Structure 1
Amino acid sequence: MNSGFEKTGKLPRRIPQQERGEQRKATMLEAAAQLFARLGYEVTTMTAIAEKSASSIGALYQYFPDKETIALALRKQYSDEMDNRWTALIEIAAGLNIAELGERIIDLMVAFLHEHPAYFCLLNASLKYKRSDQDRLRLRKRFAAVIREKQPAMNSTDSLRLAIVALEIVKSLNPLYAAATKAERVQLVREYKLALVSYLQLKLAV
């Protein structure tokens, strides 16, 4: 029986109720993600999520009133994680040449898609989720700043336009990658790296 204690060395540590609640929510979200990836959003039920997470249906409803709330929580979680990955890449971008930067961007997206297969079905699910224009513009401006580091003579308007086009190239990989076979995905990644690197090199050539 879970008494709310966790062993840490010699003495048990009392796990705060709020921490236990966050752990339980994380387990439920992970179970839902696995089911969404395997069965699809529409087919997955709250009952299946409860069973997968070893929770009672009542406990699940205590944290999430419906399936859409779970899906929206996952979308928010994925969005935050993607932002963190972009932040990490942007922080080292100054030390990368243009080819390395373009390839790292595609690798970032591919790694994320592999680690979160539920992302595919949630992109196509009918959810009341929309990334704010402010968040979208913030990423574009940050990438535009990276571009100006590579080409200081470029003005802010041109660098922002280049950033938008480059990010749309990356975004277009998602549906093609989702529908492709394993072998075809390897080819797609190669082609997208070529396309993105070639575009960046052409536009940033001194």
Structure 2
Amino acid sequence: MRMASEKSSATVPQPRAPQQKRGRDRVAALMAAASELFVEKGFDATTMTEIAAKAGAAIGTLYLFFPTKQAVAQAILAQNAEALSAELDDLRDRTQGMSAAAIADRLFARLGTFMAGHPAYSALLDLPGDDGWRRAMRGHRRSQIATLFAAADPPLPVGQAERLAVIVPQLMRIPLTLTGEKRLRDGVLEDLRLMLSRHLEAGEG
């Protein structure tokens, strides 16, 4: 596992980066256990002792790599943010020259799949933490989404592409509030996708 290089040390104690495979495997197990607990119980209700126990590790091992629970959460969020960035890069390569409406369809589908597969990302997204790193993360994500729409055929104006880069992540947050209601959540996501696609199609006409 690679620790995120863009993470600032101003407010969050830094995890100790493992040098050997055994250490990397331990960190991966600790982060996987923490991810499950954060989704199941929430960040505040989860304890470091529970994380270590779920990972089958000694509490000292957990503190060796992560000095605080906040550091565990930040590492998980950074790992998920990197995975999302890779998804958006791949989508850019696959959608160049498509209409803006078609790009919106594929973007919603990709983001929906990502959120379903990375529930800890949604659970930790609003957690207070390293504001500088979070601003950089959001800025990078917006730039990636704006680039998707700017490469549409016909291309969207830069200003509209930048606005969509703000609007789409906010729309995606709406169904995330419907925890435990998969059918309703999926329906809301589909309605949002159709709403944006039809709006963009109307602009193309």
Tell me whether 1:27 sits opposite 2:29 in the alignment: yes
- C-alpha separation in 2, matches of 1:127 and 1:190: 32
CA shift, 1:152, in A, is 4.8
CA shift, 1:130, in A, is 5.1
Highest Rg: 1 or 2? 1
Aligned partner of 1:3 in structure 2 is none
CA contact (8 A) 1:29 1:70 kept: yes
Aligned partner of 1:188 in structure 2 is 188
- C-alpha separation in 1, matches of 2:87 and 2:56: 31
Unaligned 5+ runs, structure 1: 1-15
Tell me whether 1:200 sits opposite 2:200 in the alignment: yes
Amino acid at match of 2:192: Y
Unaligned 5+ runs, structure 2: 1-17
The 3 A distance-change label for structure 1 pair 17 and 147 is closer
CA contact (8 A) 1:140 1:164 kept: yes
Aligned partner of 1:161 in structure 2 is 163
Deviates more, 1:102-111 or 1:141-150: 141-150
CA shift, 1:40, in A, is 1.0
Aligned counterparts, 1:42-121, within 5 A: 42-94=44-96, 96-121=98-123
- C-alpha separation in 2, matches of 1:179 and 1:143: 26
CA RMSD, 1 decimal: 2.6
Higher relative CO (CA 8 A, sep ≥ 6), structure 1 or 2?
Answer: 2
The 3 A distance-change label for structure 1 pair 166 and 120 is closer
Divergent runs of 4+, >6 A? none
TM-score, scaled relative to structure 2: 0.78
